[in-house]
Each structure stands twice: as C-alpha cells, then as structure tokens.
Amino acid sequence: MPKKSKWIDLGKVRLNLNEESNEANRQPHFRGILPAQQKIEEGDEIYLAGWINKNENDKITGLYFTLSMPEKSKVKKDDDLPF
C-alpha cells in the first residue's frame, strides 16, 4: 500500500469582492491577505484549492482558498550525523 503524504497547512485566505473596482480606477476585482503560517522556501510547491462564495441572490461575494504543501522528509546533513 503506498505511503500517504502528509500535508502542511500554509493558511487560508478569503478574497472579498472589491465593490470599488472598475475599468477607470483599475483596482483588483478581489482583495485579501494571506498571513504566512510556515516558512516557505524557494522551490517549494504550494497547492491551492479554491471555492466561490455566493450570497442568497447567487451573486459572487468572494473567493475562499486554502494553501498547502506536501510535508518534506528531512534528510540529515553531514553535520547532523552522530558520528
């Protein structure tokens, strides 16, 4: 049986609809913040999953994302070896 990967949760972010966005001011259609919960190193692959949030009138009000990456197996460096 293949070994299951463990995943590191890098955080969650909700992008809210920017009601002030229009062609004249060129603001983004959605805004949000992702507070980093883990150190992310160069070359790490980050997986992104997203959902659309709608109100009772079926209007899109925001986007919700989760970010994660596979847990890396730690390889000991020569300095970490006990001999």
27-77 per-position pLDDT tens digit: 888 888 877 777 788 888 888 899 988 999 999 888 988 888 888 755 445
What pTM did the predictor assign?
A: 0.58
In which band, very low, low, confident or very high, does the pLDDT at 78 lie, cut at 50, 70 and 90? low
Long-range contacts of 32-40 (CB under 8 A, 24+ apart): 32/62, 32/63, 34/67, 35/11, 36/10, 36/11, 37/9, 37/10, 37/11, 38/8, 38/9, 38/10, 38/11, 40/10, 40/69
